[in-house]
Amino acid sequence: MENHVPHFAVIFTSKRRPQEGDGYPEMAAKMDALAREQPGFLGVDSVSSPVEGTISAITVSYWQDEESIRAWKRNLEHLLAQKRGKENWYLHYEVRVAKVERMYSGDEILE
C-alpha cells in the first residue's frame, strides 16, 4: 500500500463468540472484498485469534481521507453488516477513526 502521510486509519477491535453457521466468516469475506472496491481505500491489516472460547480480532483499514471513511460507513451493504454485527456477533467492539501522522517500516535485509 501507499505509505504517504497523512492518511487515515480505522482501528476496529472486537471480541466475538464463534458459532457454526452464524454467517460471520462469509460476511467478513464479503465486506473485505467490498471495502477494497471503495474510493479512497488504501489497504487493510487484520489478525484474529481464539482466546478462551471467544475470538479477539483487530482490523485496521487505511484510507485516503475522512470522506472515504464516511462513505464506506454509510454503504448500504456495510450498514446491514454493521447491524448484524451489533445484534448477533460481537460481545464487544471499539472503533477508532485516526489520522496517521507519521509512519515507518522495516524489512529483513536478506528477504
Tell me which residue of 56, 50, 31 sits closest to 41, measured CA to CA: 31
Cβ-in-10-Å burial (0-12, 13-18, 19+) of 55 comes to middle
Map grid coordinates 481505500 to a residue: 41
Report strand pairing: 7-16 vs 41-51.
Answer: unpaired
Among 26, 32, 77, 94, binds a second copy (CB under 8 A): 94
Q: CB neighbours of 25 closer than 8 A, spacing ≥ 6?
A: none
| Contact letters for a second copy, residues 19-58 (x by CB under 8 A) | --------------------------xxxxx------xxx
Among 11, 29, 79, 80, binds a second copy (CB under 8 A): 11
Minimum separation from the CB atom of position 5 to a second copy (A): 8
Measured from the CB atom, the residue of 28 and 60 that comes closer to a second copy is 60
Residues forming contacts to a second copy in the complex (CB under 8 A) are 9, 11, 13, 45-49, 56-58, 60, 86, 90-108, 111
